[in-house]
Amino acid sequence: MQNAVTNVQLNQHGQLRHFLSIDGLNKTLLETLLNTAESFIGMDEQPIKKVPLLRGKTIVNLFFENSTRTRTTFELAAKRLSADILNFNISTSATTKGESLFDTLQNLEAMASDMFIIRHPDSGAAHFIAKSVTPNIAIINAGDGRHAHPTQAMLDMLSIRRHKGDFSKLTVAIVGDILHSRVARSQIQALAMLGVPEIRVIGPKTLLPKNIELLPIKIFHQMEAGLSDADVVIMLRLQKERMQLSLIPSEHEYYQCYGLTKQKLAYAKPDAIVMHPGPINRGVEIESSIADSPQSMILKQVNCSVPMRMAILATVMSSYSEKSKPS
Amino acid sequence: MPQNLTAETSSLLEKVCNDLINHLDENQIKDPVMVGIHSGGVWVGNELLPRLALKDPLGSLDISFYRDDFSQTGLNPKVKPSSLPFTTENRHVILVDDVIMTGRTIRAAMNELFDYGRPATITLVTLININARQLPIQPDIIGKTMVLSPQERVKLSGPNPLSLEIIKKT
């Protein structure tokens, strides 16, 4: 699987031609993306919040699943790079997935698009599309099933680097519903690739995926031990819409055990930062006052999302330049 | 063998500085701001700024996002943030680069400058002028004009010390 992803994501020069998952990339590529994103930070304070880099490119936001934040920040990122962007929200409920997906893509390809940004409820959808489309269209994965959400992971890495600096000295704890979280999977891969020495996962056994011990992480079932001396605490949303089985006794009990309260946060380092990919369930996975406290990076994460996504769009489009074409 | 022009660099800076002061006087340009283009232009700007006793700090532009060859060469992976710690609206801007050759970098830099505001004037300063222009852009102040063979390039290394050399492309 990893080799297949690697080959699809990178061109012969090792440049990003699709951005599908963190898996299969390397530290240098991630650091270059973070550095490029830094150059876009502060652009929203300029009188003209735009650069002409992707002028004349057509980008399609193709969302087969609801999203507000991700879709709008991709839209803004594309617009700030001067690309033209089309938004499609397609419900999969009434159609046969494989066939309709393919037909939709062919129609969009015919519109001379340069890039598709795809969110899909099925794991592997972005990867499937990257292999199916014509070679001159770039694919960005904006979340596929439980598999990956690499752009969210990257903007979280940008927030962590801006507030904590050196990854090689950090202890990062990820708390909650890991089982349903594509964000957590991508975060763990990115943290490990960037050299974080201790990545912890905290949650009830029922919300941890099978084979999780294969990942470079330490597993905890108690907040006290798991949060002890952590520099970064990443809370995950309890994904109610994905929970078909009764994996937790009740929301109340979950909050008692795994909700981030002032008391539990005290186990982490005093200057620990709290992150959450949003949308947050106040009083379910996080105490309201923590979400609004100075330690909370939740809104700052949103500030990182447009510059990070601009860096990803620009870097991927860059690999389609004449110089990067196969010789 | 690369031809080293280090010894000449400080006299070129001196000349550029004197010519620039005269130019500002003649054109009655008061209270200008100075902007260098990454990396060489910033190094040269840092040398010129104290000699002109400007009150604003040096601004810097990385023109990577404004280049006209993105479709050909892609993105510079070492792009740095631009920083203009002053408003350019209605101000006189001294734009500094180490070398002008085709003029494309200056076009990109002027496009970027205008995204920060509408300057009153732009004065273009370069240490070295290579007559290989592809666009109708000419510097106001030139340290030295050189003729190079198609294989030759001028390279400024720095910032301490600033040193110019002619290198042959391999």
**A257 falls within a domain:** yes
Task: Kindly state whether residues A57 and A122 are assigned to the same domain.
Answer: yes
Question: In angstroms, rounded to a whole number, what is the distance separating the alpha carbons of residues A243 and A288?
Answer: 23
Q: pLDDT by residue (tens digit) across A129-187?
A: 999 888 899 999 999 999 999 999 999 999 999 999 999 999 999 999 999 899 999 99
Task: Kindly state whether residues A206 and A83 are assigned to the same domain.
Answer: no
Task: Kindly state whether residues A29 and A54 are assigned to the same domain.
Answer: yes
* pLDDT band at residue A86 using 50, 70 and 90 as cut-offs: very high
Candidate from A143-157, A190-204, B62-76 with smallest mean pLDDT: B62-76
Residue A213 is encoded by which pair of tokens? 């011990």
Domain CATH code at residue B34: 3.40.50.2020
Domain CATH code at residue A99: 3.40.50.1370
Q: What percent of chain A has pLDDT over 90?
A: 69
Task: Kindly state whether residues A197 and A282 are assigned to the same domain.
Answer: yes
**A131 falls within a domain:** yes
Q: DSSP assignment, residue B58?
A: P
Q: In whole numbers, what is the pLDDT of chain B averaged over residues?
A: 93
Identify the domain containing residue A193 by its residue range: 150-300
What is the tally of structural domains in chain B?
1
Task: Kindly state whether residues A156 and A291 are assigned to the same domain.
Answer: yes
DSSP output for A76-133: HHHHHTT-EEEEEE---TTS-HHHHHHHHHHHHHTTT-SEEEEEESSTTHHHHHHHHS
Q: Which residue has the tokens 């106040």?
A: A282
Which chain A residue is nearest to residue B63, measuring alpha carbons? A51
**B72 falls within a domain:** no
Name every chain A residue with its beta carbon within 8 A of the beta carbon of B70.
53-54, 317-318, 321
Identify the domain containing residue B84 by its residue range: 3-66+79-168
Question: In angstroms, rounded to a whole number, what is the distance separating the alpha carbons of residues A112 and A175?
Answer: 43
**B71 falls within a domain:** no
pLDDT computed for residue A1 by the predictor: 42
Candidate from A90-104, A279-293, A304-318 with smallest mean pLDDT: A90-104
Task: Kindly state whether residues A197 and A67 are assigned to the same domain.
Answer: no
**A264 falls within a domain:** yes
Task: Kindly state whether residues A47 and A157 are assigned to the same domain.
Answer: no
* CA R_g for chain A: 19
* pLDDT band at residue A41 using 50, 70 and 90 as cut-offs: very high
Q: What is the mean pLDDT of residues A1-9?
A: 60
pLDDT computed for residue A327 by the predictor: 57
Q: Is the peptide bond before B159 cis (omega within 30 degrees of 0)?
A: yes
**B159 falls within a domain:** yes
Task: Kindly state whether residues A170 and A142 are assigned to the same domain.
Answer: no
Give the CA dihedral A144, A146, A147, A152, nearest 10 degrees: 70
Question: In angstroms, rounded to a whole number, what is the distance separating the alpha carbons of residues B24 and B32?
Answer: 9
Q: pLDDT by residue (tens digit) across B96-140?
A: 999 999 999 999 999 999 999 999 999 999 999 999 999 999 999
Question: In angstroms, rounded to a whole number, what is the distance separating the alpha carbons of residues A162 and A159?
Answer: 5
Q: Is the pLDDT of residue A14 over 70?
A: yes
pLDDT computed for residue A94 by the predictor: 44
HSE-up (13 A, CA, CB side) for residue B134: 8
* pLDDT band at residue B161 using 50, 70 and 90 as cut-offs: confident
Q: What strands lie across the sheet with B152-157, from one edge to the other? A: B3-4, B163-168, B152-157
Closest CA to A237 of A187, A173, A283: A283
pLDDT computed for residue A154 by the predictor: 98
ipTM, interface predicted TM-score of the complex: 0.83
Is A25 within 8 Å of A319 (Cβ atoms)? no
Of A32, A41, A52, the CB nearest to B77: A32
- CB contact under 8 Å between A323 and B73, yes or no, is yes
pLDDT computed for residue A77 by the predictor: 98
- CB contact under 8 Å between A52 and B79, yes or no, is no
B136 — contact with chain A (CB < 8 Å)? no
**B40 falls within a domain:** yes
- CB contact under 8 Å between A36 and B73, yes or no, is no
- CB atoms closer than 10 angstroms to residue B94: 27
* pLDDT band at residue A4 using 50, 70 and 90 as cut-offs: very low
* pLDDT band at residue A97 using 50, 70 and 90 as cut-offs: low
Question: In angstroms, rounded to a whole number, what is the distance separating the alpha carbons of residues B110 and B89?
Answer: 13
What is the tally of structural domains in chain A?
2
- CB contact under 8 Å between A322 and B73, yes or no, is yes
pLDDT computed for residue A39 by the predictor: 93
Q: Is the pLDDT of residue A87 over 50?
A: yes
B59-61 and B121-130 beta bridge pairing: unpaired
Task: Kindly state whether residues A55 and A157 are assigned to the same domain.
Answer: no
**A326 falls within a domain:** no
Three-class secondary structure of residue A62 per DSSP: strand
Q: Is the pLDDT of residue A239 over 80?
A: no
DSSP output for B77-116: TT----B--S--TT-EEEEEEEEESSSHHHHHHHHHHHHH
Closest CA to A233 of A284, A282, A194, A286: A286
Task: Kindly state whether residues A125 and A6 are assigned to the same domain.
Answer: yes
Q: pLDDT by residue (tens digit) across A105-131?
A: 888 888 889 999 999 999 999 999 999
Residues 6+ apart with CB under 8 A from A16: A9, A10, A25, A29, A312, A315, A316, A319
**A323 falls within a domain:** no
pLDDT computed for residue A98 by the predictor: 58
DSSP H helices in A216-297: 223-227, 251-258, 262-265, 288-291
DSSP H helices in A165-297: 182-193, 223-227, 251-258, 262-265, 288-291
DSSP output for A19-35: B--STT--HHHHHHHHH
Q: In whole numbers, what is the pLDDT of chain A averaged over residues?
A: 90
Question: In angstroms, rounded to a whole number, what is the distance separating the alpha carbons of residues A267 and B106?
Answer: 55
CA distances from A272 to A187, A228, B107 (A): 18, 11, 46
Task: Kindly state whether residues A190 and A213 are assigned to the same domain.
Answer: yes
Task: Kindly state whether residues A228 and A97 are assigned to the same domain.
Answer: no
- CB contact under 8 Å between A318 and B74, yes or no, is yes
**B37 falls within a domain:** yes
Minimum distance, in Å, between the CA of residue B100 and any CA atom of chain A: 22
**A134 falls within a domain:** yes
